């Protein structure tokens, strides 16, 4: 039997212990605490309160439904983490998506790791756990770092050690909060990347920031093109309106693009990297298509 399965089997017995009012566990020093803290225990969903310190405020409904469908078929594979409150009550530390999806499915219990923590420890655990997620947008990460500074009183150096990131990385995220709120919203909605944001934050004039932001969206500027635009603007070499667009390909390229498309059987992409310099990108749709193109190049 796998280790996780053994722990969960043990957890079903410990669930009864948690419901005993005479055995209420409030600290790691209490009797039977060692049987509960750190173990995976099946806990009633109705006994769990959501985390008031949750740094994340938006949950994609479609993704929640997909997770709920997976849980319905396979169960909750990764336990959530909760902290023990008075009586048979708990509070989420991490795993709110799994918690919400389990409620959608109609589960009565959910496997959970039990922790003992005070409010500050709870906030710090929730914030640090949130930063480790892979699907956060740059502004969510930046706001989480700022909360660690403001509410846990961590310096940037202390925080970089706590979350396992370079200090320069932490600084780069925090600088994004200097951007106009409209641009921050654009980053959260996926209209531009962190690289775009890092380029824009070097523009002190908010009105100019917004004009460049509008051009990034309108002309689909890459990060490199945005960096060059900002550099030229700071040097007074051009204006946002008259900035040369990368899609204005030289005549010798425009005259031959169709020939490349016909030869490779796919629509190629041409990207300029300088005056009369650039890259030809040949897309492929499968391994067979890749091998077909490879043979053409032999």
19-28, 41-50, 164-173, 201-210: the lowest-pLDDT one: 19-28
Do 109 and 201 lie in a common domain? no
Assigned domain for 144 exists: no
Residue 35 confidence (pLDDT): 56
Q: Is the pLDDT of residue 7 over 50?
A: no
Do 260 and 219 lie in a common domain? no
* Mean pLDDT score, 118-144: 73
Residue 52: alpha-carbon gap to chain centroid: 20
Please, which residues have CB within 8 angstroms of residue 282's CB and are 6 or more apart in sequence?
264, 266, 268, 293
Q: Is the pLDDT of residue 200 over 90?
A: yes
- Residue-number span of the structural domain to which 211 is assigned: 179-234
More confident residue, 254 or 71: 71
235 catalytically annotated:
no
Q: How confident is the model at residue 272 (pLDDT cuts 50, 70, 90)?
A: confident
Assigned domain for 74 exists: yes
More confident residue, 43 or 234: 43
The average confidence (pLDDT) of the chain is 78
More confident residue, 73 or 125: 73
Residue 16 confidence (pLDDT): 56
Residue 94 confidence (pLDDT): 80
Q: Rounded to the nearest 5°, which phi and psi values hold at 20?
A: -80, 110
Residue recorded with tokens 């531009």: 192
Instruction: Report the DSSP beta bridge partners of residue 81.
Output: 94, 113
Do 259 and 221 lie in a common domain? no
DSSP string of 240-255, one letter each residue = TTTPPPTT---HHHHT
Q: How confident is the model at residue 163 (pLDDT cuts 50, 70, 90)?
A: confident
What is the CATH classification number for the domain harbouring 101?
A: 3.90.1530.30
Do 114 and 7 lie in a common domain? yes
Among the listed residues 179, 183, 246, the one whose alpha carbon sits nearest the alpha carbon of residue 219:
246
Question: Which position among 22, 61, 96, 214 bears the catalytic label?
Answer: 96
Rg of the chain (C-alpha set): 26
Q: Is the pLDDT of residue 278 over 90?
A: no
Do 7 and 47 lie in a common domain? yes
Integer Cα distance of 202 and 230 in angstroms: 8
Residue 48: alpha-carbon gap to chain centroid: 25
């Amino acid at each position: 039997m796998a280790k996780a399965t053994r722990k969960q089997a043990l957890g079903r017995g410990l669930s009864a212990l948690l419901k005993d009012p005479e055995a209420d566990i409030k600290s790691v020093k209490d009797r039977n605490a060692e049987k509960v803290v750190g173990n995976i225990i099946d806990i009633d969903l109705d006994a769990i309160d959501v985390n008031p310190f949750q740094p994340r405020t938006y949950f994609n409904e479609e993704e929640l439904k997909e997770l709920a469908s997976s849980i319905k078929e396979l169960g909750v594979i990764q336990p959530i983490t909760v902290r023990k409150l008075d009586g048979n009550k708990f509070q989420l530390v991490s795993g709110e998506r799994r918690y919400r999806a389990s409620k959608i499915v109609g589960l009565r219990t959910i496997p959970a790791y039990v922790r003992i923590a005070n409010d500050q420890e709870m906030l710090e655990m929730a914030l640090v756990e949130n930063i480790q997620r892979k699907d956060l947008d740059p502004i969510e990460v930046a706001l989480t770092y700022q909360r660690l500074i403001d509410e846990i009183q961590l310096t940037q150096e202390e925080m970089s050690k706590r979350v396992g990131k370079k200090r320069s990385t932490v600084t780069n995220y925090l600088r994004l909060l200097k951007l106009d709120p409209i641009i921050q919203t654009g980053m959260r909605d996926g209209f531009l990347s962190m690289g775009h944001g890092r380029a824009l934050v070097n523009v002190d004039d908010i009105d100019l920031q917004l004009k460049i932001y509008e051009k990034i969206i309108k002309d689909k500027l890459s990060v490199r093109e945005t960096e060059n635009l900002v550099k030229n603007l700071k040097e007074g070499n051009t204006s946002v309106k008259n900035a040369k667009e990368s899609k204005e390909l030289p005549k010798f390229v425009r005259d031959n693009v169709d020939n490349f498309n016909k030869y490779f059987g796919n629509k190629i992409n041409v990207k300029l990297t300088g005056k009369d310099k650039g890259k030809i990108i040949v897309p492929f749709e499968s391994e067979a298509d890749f091998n077909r193109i490879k043979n053409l190049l032999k």
